[in-house]
Amino acid sequence: MPELPEVETIIRGLRRGVDGAPTIIGQEITGISLFWPKTLATHDPETVNRLLNGQKVLAISRRAKYILLELDKTFLVVHLRMSGDLRMAPDLGAEQVLPHDRFYLHFASGWGLAFNDARKFGRVWISPDPASILPKLGPDPLDPSLNAASFHEMLTSRGRQLKPLLMDQSFLAGVGNIYSTEALYAARLHPLQNSRYISLKEAKKLLQALRDVLEWGIAHNGTSIDWVYKGGDFQKYLKAYQHTGLPCERCGTPIEDLVSAQRRAHYCPRCQKLHE
DNA sequence: AGCATTACCCGCACGC
DNA sequence: TGCGTGCGGGTAATGC
Known active-site residue A139: no
pLDDT tens digits along A70-120:
999 999 999 999 999 999 999 888 888 999 999 999 999 999 999 999 999
Q: Which residues of A53-65 are buried (b: 16+ CB within 10 A; e: fewer)?
A: eebebeebebbbb
Query: Out of A5, A6, A62, A65, which one is annotated catalytic?
Result: A65
Model confidence at A60, pLDDT cuts 50, 70, 90, reads: very high
Nucleotides of C under 7 A from a protein CB: 5-10
**pLDDT attached to residue A192:** 94
Indicate yes or no: strand C within 7 A of the C-beta of A6.
Answer: yes
pLDDT tens digits along A157-210:
999 999 999 999 999 999 999 999 999 999 999 999 999 999 999 999 999 999
Nucleotides of B under 7 A from a protein CB: 4-15
Return the closest-CA partner of residue A114 out of A10, A3, A228. Answer: A10
Known active-site residue A128: no
Contact between A113 and A15 (Cβ < 8 Å): no
Indicate yes or no: strand C within 7 A of the C-beta of A74.
Answer: no
Q: Which of residues 208-237 of A touch strand C (CB under 7 A)?
A: 222-226, 228-229
Indicate yes or no: strand C within 7 A of the C-beta of A38.
Answer: no
Q: Which burial class, exposed, middle or buried, applies to A191 when counting CB atoms under 10 A from its CB (0-12, 13-18, 19+)?
A: buried
For residue A100, give the nucleotide whose C1' atom is nearest its CA. B12
CA distance to A93, A124, A198, A235, per residue, from A189 (Å): 51, 36, 9, 21
Indicate yes or no: strand B within 7 A of the C-beta of A120.
Answer: yes
Q: Which residues pair with A259 in a beta bridge?
A: A264
Q: Is the dihedral of CA A201, A205, A210, A211 positive or negative?
A: positive
DSSP labels, A79-118? E-TTTEEEEEEE---SS-SSTTEEEEEEETTSEEEEEEET
In a 13 Å sphere around the CA of A114, the CA atoms on its Cβ side amount to: 22
Indicate yes or no: strand B within 7 A of the C-beta of A262.
Answer: yes
Under DSSP, is residue A151 helix (H, G, I), strand (E, B) or coil?
A: helix
The domain A148-267 having CATH identifier 1.20.120.160: the answer here is no
Known active-site residue A196: no
Specify the fold of A4-132.
N-terminal domain of MutM-like DNA repair proteins (3.20.190)
Q: Residue A69 corresponds to which amino acid?
A: L
Check for a shared fold between A4-132 and A148-267: no
Indicate yes or no: strand B within 7 A of the C-beta of A135.
Answer: no
Known active-site residue A2: yes
Model confidence at A231, pLDDT cuts 50, 70, 90, reads: confident
Q: What is the DSSP letter of A169?
A: T
Contact between A67 and A134 (Cβ < 8 Å): no
DSSP labels, A231-268? S--GGGG-SSTT-TTSBPTTT-PBPEEEEETTEEEEE-
Q: Mean pLDDT, to the nearest integer, of A15-42?
A: 95
Q: How far apart are CA A123 and CA A85, in angstroms?
A: 11
Q: How far apart are CA A47 and CA A164, in angstroms?
A: 39
Model confidence at A146, pLDDT cuts 50, 70, 90, reads: very high
The CA angle A141-A123-A238, to the nearest 5 degrees, is: 40
**pLDDT attached to residue A1:** 56
Q: How far apart are CA A162 and CA A157, in angstroms?
A: 12
> In angstroms, how far is CA A93 from the centroid of its own chain?
28
Where exactly are the structural domains of chain A? 4-132, 148-267
